[in-house]
Amino acid sequence: MKQTSTDEDVKVLDHLVGKLIDEGALEQARTVARQWTELHPENPTAWYLLGTVWLALGELAEAEPCLRRSLELDGEEFWCCYQMSTVHLLRGDMEGTIEWCQRALKLRPEEPRLFTRLVEAYTYQAELDQAVKFARKAVKVAKGRPEEFATRMMLGNLYMTIQSLAEAAEQFQEALKLNSTSTDAWMDLGHCHSRLGKSDEALSAFRKGIELEPHDPGLLYNLGDAYLAVGEPEKAVGPLMRAVQQRPDFALAYYDLSLAFFEMDKYREGAAVASAALRGDENMESQQINLGLGATQNLGICLMNQGKMKEALASFERNLTLLAPNYFNRGLTLLKMGRHREALRNFERALEIQPNDPEYLDLLGQTYCELGHLREGERWLRRAVEADPNYAVGHFDLGTRLAKTKAKQKQARRCFERALSLDSEMAEAHYALACLHAASGKRKLALECLERALAKGFRDFKRVEGDRNLTAVRGDQEFRKLVAKFRSA
């Protein structure tokens, strides 16, 4: 039986259903709202509230007709339009989301939540220029209102996404003026400063966040990561250890710890924490471990099924580039084990993926030389320095190969000199020049180069005293003084 509802009845119903939703009593809220539509089928608020309850329950197919019925009875109404945008957003229909937000904007052009919703929709569609446009509008209409902090954080994060880092930092700083106790704002500001190369400011921001939340594993991780970025692995270890103590499954923190120990030459500790990063997924099967690889693969498959073959191929090839270092490092390990042919195959695979990497080219050349294919080795070593003329190690390695052929020793000397012009601290290059000068009878130059090598840290005295290339100067008193001086240092 239909009944007439008063404005007071509607207010009571609105309050009651809203209270039940807030308390999580959704089934009870649905019962109340449904009964009200049965008693007052012409009341738009009753239908709106029932649609809202269905939305809270995640039943989009039930929510939409209720909201549409409310609109039929009451015409364009802001909250109904807003909730219809929610229905489309949850379905992944961004065009529909944008359409309903635009309709709601005509009713309330200064509502920050609408701009926020539009930012979500345009971000999902990767239309970041449009997302930034509406995020700026959100900040403008929210100024001086409770929503200002959230809108500035949203705009700051969008600027981070499009690499407008200075603008992002400005938004986070403005947000902190509104809420200086937000650890999220301090963390985001720290990330901005880090990407801008402002290491001191980044460290300061992360420390401020930790002062507010001293046991937050995310903040501790970011502080450790920032110390790694400025080349201070010793200082990184403390906060990273605290991060994994607070969160024992924190794979990223274990990964950074392994980097810190590696840079400190603590290989045993580095291996232990690198293993801990894989704990629970040693075969790397979950997408939590391989999120980037998995997402890129999914992108490629989706593009392929849209007929966008060129874009799909680029996506799959992007994943391949991540495998090149693995082939390289496997090859390097095999080379050190004396398994030269296996090492060769791995370096070749790495070069198939990244054909112009100078380090890969160099190691391939060295491996050919180890296998006795000297001409082929020299060819690849030359390609390494052609790929990167400023690759000091490449010039040194090419010089080492050329020095073994008497007719090419002048070329070898030029290679060593080029290496030292790029890295004057390369002790091995100074030593190599000492050997060349001694072999060609240039005693004074040989001793000068040997002294520089020893001063730069060359300490293989067994090699110095047994190297036949230094035979011409080994009986020299100055030679004996140099060796004695640095041996006792």
Q: Degrees (nearest 5) of the Cα angle 299, 302, 305?
A: 150
Task: Tell me if 65 sits within 8 A of 52, measured CB to CB.
Answer: no
Q: Degrees (nearest 5) of the Cα angle 439, 443, 445?
A: 95
pLDDT computed for residue 38 by the predictor: 85
Task: Tell me if 431 sits within 8 A of 467, measured CB to CB.
Answer: no
Give the tens place of pLDDT for each residue, 16-51.
777 887 888 888 888 888 888 888 888 888 898 899
Q: d(Cα 345, Cα 351) in Å, to the nearest integer?
A: 10
Q: d(Cα 260, Cα 182) in Å, to the nearest integer?
A: 29
| Predicted model pTM | 0.67
For the beta carbon of residue 427, count every other beta carbon within 10 angstroms.
16
The mean-pLDDT minimum among 94-98, 274-278, 459-463 falls in 274-278
Q: d(Cα 74, Cα 36) in Å, to the nearest integer?
A: 16
C-alpha dist (Å) from residue 487 to 192, 299, 368, 432, 483:
48, 60, 35, 19, 6
Q: d(Cα 453, Cα 464) in Å, to the nearest integer?
A: 11
Q: d(Cα 328, Cα 315) in Å, to the nearest integer?
A: 22
Residue 209: pLDDT band with limits 50, 70, 90: very high
What percentage of the chain carries pLDDT values higher than 90?
65
Q: Rounded to 5 degrees, what are φ and ψ at 458?
A: -70, 120
pLDDT computed for residue 7 by the predictor: 61
Residue 131: pLDDT band with limits 50, 70, 90: very high
**Top-confidence residue, 279 or 276:** 276
Q: d(Cα 480, Cα 472) in Å, to the nearest integer?
A: 13
Q: d(Cα 348, Cα 354) in Å, to the nearest integer?
A: 10
Domains of the chain, start order: 180-278 (1.25.40.10), 308-423 (1.25.40.10), 427-489 (no CATH)
Q: d(Cα 448, Cα 430) in Å, to the nearest integer?
A: 9
As a residue count, the chain comes to 489
pLDDT computed for residue 1 by the predictor: 37
The mean-pLDDT minimum among 53-62, 290-299, 396-405, 445-454 falls in 290-299
Among the listed residues 94, 78, 16, 6, the one whose alpha carbon sits nearest the alpha carbon of residue 50: 16
Give the tens place of pLDDT for each residue, 405-443.
989 999 999 999 999 999 999 999 999 999 999 999 999
Enter the tokens of residue 174: 């403005």
